[in-house]
Chains A and B, each alone.
Chain A
Amino acid sequence: DVVMTQSPLSLPVTLGQPASISCRSSQSLVHSDGNTYLNWFQQRPGQSPRRLMYKVSNRDSGVPDRFSGSGSDTDFTLKISRVEAEDVGVYYCMQGTHWPWTFGQGTKVEI
């Protein structure tokens, strides 16, 4: 199985300051169809996961543009340009290229 490794696992942040989460995969996430199925999820306390980004850098509808995704092959990053209070939660990267689809361990973002 593809192992997804996130860092850091805990991220203390300051409101209005930038934040960054790294995600590395044990294999290339380039699919045979040419797409890279690396996705990011946010899980707020007591809620279901919510998809933020798909295929590395595509923001879902309603996701603020302070969130951005980048990377390629095995190395990916989620950035928050200016952290807001509503961004508190756990962030997961997830690969949908190789079955079984797998998640990172999660990064807890706290103020």
Chain B
Amino acid sequence: EVQLVESGGGLVQPGGSLRLSCAASGFTFSSYWMSWVRQAPGRGLEWVANIKQDGSEKYYVDSVKGRFTVSRDNAKNSLYLQMNSLRADDTAVYYCARVNQHTGDFWGQGTLVTVSS
């Protein structure tokens, strides 16, 4: 059974940093692109970042470029999102998703990031 479990969310002040993790199991992690997608409270969905199987290609939505870094450790079956210079509008539930057919076929339960003073 495919499982994705996010962790690392919490309350952080504007300008602060946070590192999210996603632990994957039930599939060959190193064979899939992976993604981070976020959802602001009561709002719609925004695709944040994609990373290729070997980490050699990464794509970001413009609103996080230069502030967020996606990475992975295939030996640990883990996906990460390093978030720096956080702003209030980064407040959201962050989901990790497995990419299949140019979309996410399995999603985690999400981790809430709140940026507030």
Identify which of B44, B103, B109, B110 contacts A101 (C-beta below 8 A). Answer: B103
Q: Number of B residues contacting the other chain (C-beta, 8 Å)?
A: 21
Given the known interface contacts A48-B95, A49-B45, A94-B45, the answer about A101 and B62 at a Cβ–Cβ threshold of 8 Å is: no
The answer to whether B102 and A103 have CB atoms under 8 Å apart is no
B46 contacts partner chain A, Cβ-Cβ < 8 Å: yes
How many whole Å from A59's CB to the nearest CB in chain B?
A: 12
Contact A51 B105 (CB under 8 A): yes
In the complex, are the beta carbons of A49 and B105 less than 8 A apart? no
* A8 neighbours in B (Cβ, 8 Å): none
Asked if B101 is at the interface of the complex by the 8 Å CB criterion, the answer is yes
Interface residues on A, range: 20 to 34
Within 8 Å by CB of B103, from A31, A94, A100, lies A94
Q: Are A99 and B59 in contact (CB under 8 A)?
A: yes
- 11 extra interchain contacts, Cβ-Cβ under 8 A, other than A100-B47, A101-B47? A37-B101, A37-B102, A37-B103, A49-B45, A96-B101, A97-B102, A100-B59, A100-B61, A100-B62, A103-B45, A103-B47
